[in-house]
Amino acid sequence: MPGADGPTPHAGAGSGRWLDDEHFRHLHHPDRERWLPKEPVLAMLALAPGMTVADVGAGSGYLTGPLAEAVGQTGAVFAVDPSPAAHRHLAERFGGDEWPQVVRRVGTAEATGLADASVDRILWHAVFHELADRGRAWAEARRILKPGGRLVVVDWKPEPTPMGPPVAERVAAATAAAEAEAAGFRVVERTEPGPATWGLVLERP
């Protein structure tokens, strides 16, 4: 998430441009909810108690808490990120006994470390533009997702905004949808969950 002086790369999808502690403070900028509202993303996921979710590129846990509340203590949220700074922040926020459903995992979108067909939902939130190898990431998502499960992708529209990555790094929703279908996913919904973002709800047949 960028500060006033420009864009800051996301903490974790596989690009290797990990965030440090100073950058994580930008991730909690008060304007973040305006540009990346949580509720539309949660609606896209259609979560229920007891579900298992992979929060890939979890960063400092912007959506990890809401995901954990939605699935409850009978469910599980795997907070996947390669960044040591991310895991420090996640441990501080979700390391207590009140969050037994949050499980931290060191990994990337291309290599989550999760088992085959082990999750009901996957979330890629503002990480798609950072993927180092999108082909491998699609394949990994399909591998860990249960049949009938959902992959929700939310990322920045390829147009200038006060926050977010450089426009040159952004990817259009149509490109992501075409790649998803080629990787074996079915596009269930195309939406705009925020004023500067596009969203895709994808299903593994």
pLDDT in tens, 75-103: 999 999 999 999 998 999 999 899 999 99
Q: What is the pLDDT of residue 35?
A: 87
For the stretch 39-86, pLDDT in tens is: 999 999 999 999 999 999 999 899 999 999 999 999 999 999 999 999
pTM of the model: 0.87
The pLDDT-based confidence of 15 (bands split at 50, 70, 90) is: very low
- List, in sequence order, every residue forming a beta bridge with 182; answer none if it has no partner: none
Q: Are 11 and 60 in contact (CB under 8 A)?
A: yes
Helices (H), the chain: 21-26, 32-35, 38-45, 64-71, 84-94, 134-144, 173-182
Task: Tell me the average pLDDT of the chain.
Answer: 88
Beta strand residue intervals within the chain, DSSP E: 52-56, 76-81, 102-106, 119-125, 145-156, 186-194, 197-203
Domain 21-203 annotated CATH 1.20.1600.10? no
Q: Tokens 């195309």 label which residue?
A: 190
* Model confidence pLDDT, tens digit, residues 96-123: 899 999 999 999 999 999 999 999 999 9
pLDDT tens, 146-177?
A: 999 999 999 999 999 988 899 999 999 999 99
Domain definitions of the chain by residue range: 21-203
Residues 6+ apart with CB under 8 A from 181: 187
Question: Is residue 141 predicted with pLDDT exceeding 60?
Answer: yes
